[in-house]
Structure 1
Amino acid sequence: MNLILDNIIFSLQDAGGISNYWYQILKRIKKEEGLHIYLFDDSEKSSNIFRQELNLSNFEHLGKSPGLVGRYTNPKLAQLSEKAIFHSSYYRYSRNSKHINITTVHDFTYEHYFSGIQLYAHTNQKRKALVNSDGIICVSENTKRDMLYFFPELADKKIIVIPHGVGTNFYQIDKKELKDKVYFDGRPFILYVGDRKALYKNFNLTVRASKLSGLPLAIIGGSPLSEKEQTYIKAKLQTEDYIHFNGVSNEELNEFYNQALCLVYPSSYEGFGLPLLEAQSAGCPVIAMNTSSIPEVVEESGILLEEESPQLIAEHIKQLLVEEYRNDLVQKGLENVKRFTWNNTFQKTLDFYKELINQ
Structure 2
Amino acid sequence: MKLILDNIIFSLQDAGGISNYWHQIIKRITNHAEFKTYLFDDSIKSTNVFRKELNLSNFERLGKSPGLVGRYTNPKMSQLNEKAIFHSSYYRYSKNPKHINISTVHDFTYEHFFSGIQLYAHTNQKRKALIQSDGIICVSENTKRDMLHFFPELSKKEITVIPHGVGKQFYEIEKSDLKSEKYFDGRPFILYVGDRKAVYKNFNLTVKASKISGLPLAIIGGNSLSEREQTFINIHLKKENFIHFSGVSNETLNDFYNKALCLVYPSSYEGFGLPLLEAQSAGCPVIAINSSSIPEVVGESGILLEEESPTLIAEEIKKLLITEYRDNFVKKGRENVKRFTWRNTFERTLEFYNQLHSQINK
Partner of 1:13: 13
Aligned AA (2:342) = W
Partner of 2:150: 150
Partner of 1:36: 36
**CA-CA distance at 1:68 after TM superposition:** 5.4
Partner of 1:353: 353
Q: C-alpha offsets along residues 67-117 of structure 1, whole Å, 9 cap, x if unaligned?
A: 753100011100001100000000000000010000000000000000000
SS in 2 for 1:148: helix
**CA-CA distance at 1:65 after TM superposition:** 5.2
Partner of 2:3: 3
Aligned residues of 2:217 and 2:243 also touching (Cα < 8 A)? yes
SS in 2 for 1:92: coil
* Partners of 1:333 and 1:154 in 2: CA distance: 35
SS in 1 for 2:308: coil
* Partners of 2:71 and 2:239 in 1: CA distance: 43
TM-score (norm 1): 0.99
* Partners of 1:179 and 1:117 in 2: CA distance: 47
* Partners of 1:66 and 1:278 in 2: CA distance: 32
Partner of 1:169: 169
Aligned residues of 2:12 and 2:67 also touching (Cα < 8 A)? no
Q: C-alpha offsets along residues 131-169 of structure 1, whole Å, 9 cap, x if unaligned?
A: 000000000000000000000000000000000000000
* Partners of 2:267 and 2:355 in 1: CA distance: 36
* Partners of 1:85 and 1:18 in 2: CA distance: 20
**Which consecutive unaligned segments of at least 5 residues does structure 1 have?**
none
Partner of 2:74: 74
1:211-290 to structure 2, matched below 5 A, reads 211-290=211-290
* Runs of 4+ residues over 2 Å off in structure 1: 41-44, 64-69
Q: C-alpha offsets along residues 43-62 of structure 1, whole Å, 9 cap, x if unaligned?
A: 35111010010001111110
Q: C-alpha offsets along residues 214-249 of structure 1, whole Å, 9 cap, x if unaligned?
A: 000000000000111111101100100000000100
Partner of 1:116: 116
Cα distance, 1:163–1:67 mapped onto 2, change above 3 Å = closer
* Partners of 1:250 and 1:65 in 2: CA distance: 27
1:329-348 to structure 2, matched below 5 A, reads 329-348=329-348
Aligned AA (1:209) = A
Partner of 2:308: 308
Aligned AA (1:341) = T
Q: C-alpha offsets along residues 118-138 of structure 1, whole Å, 9 cap, x if unaligned?
A: 000000000000000000000
Q: Percent identity?
A: 78
Aligned residues of 2:165 and 2:344 also touching (Cα < 8 A)? yes
Aligned AA (1:104) = T
**Which consecutive unaligned segments of at least 5 residues does structure 2 have?**
none
SS in 1 for 2:52: helix
Segment drifting more, 60-69 vs 171-180? 60-69
* Partners of 2:194 and 2:63 in 1: CA distance: 34
Partner of 2:59: 59
Partner of 1:90: 90
Q: CA RMSD in A?
A: 0.9
* Partners of 2:267 and 2:16 in 1: CA distance: 16
Aligned AA (2:303) = I
* Partners of 2:316 and 2:67 in 1: CA distance: 51
Aligned residues of 1:101 and 1:132 also touching (Cα < 8 A)? yes
Aligned residues of 2:179 and 2:255 also touching (Cα < 8 A)? no
TM-score (norm 2): 0.98
Aligned residues of 1:65 and 1:73 also touching (Cα < 8 A)? no
* Partners of 2:52 and 2:153 in 1: CA distance: 38
Aligned residues of 2:270 and 2:293 also touching (Cα < 8 A)? yes
Aligned residues of 1:74 and 1:92 also touching (Cα < 8 A)? yes
Aligned AA (1:234) = N
* Partners of 2:21 and 2:66 in 1: CA distance: 25
Aligned AA (2:232) = Y
Cα distance, 1:143–1:282 mapped onto 2, change above 3 Å = same
Partner of 1:328: 328
* Partners of 2:67 and 2:55 in 1: CA distance: 25
Aligned AA (2:349) = T
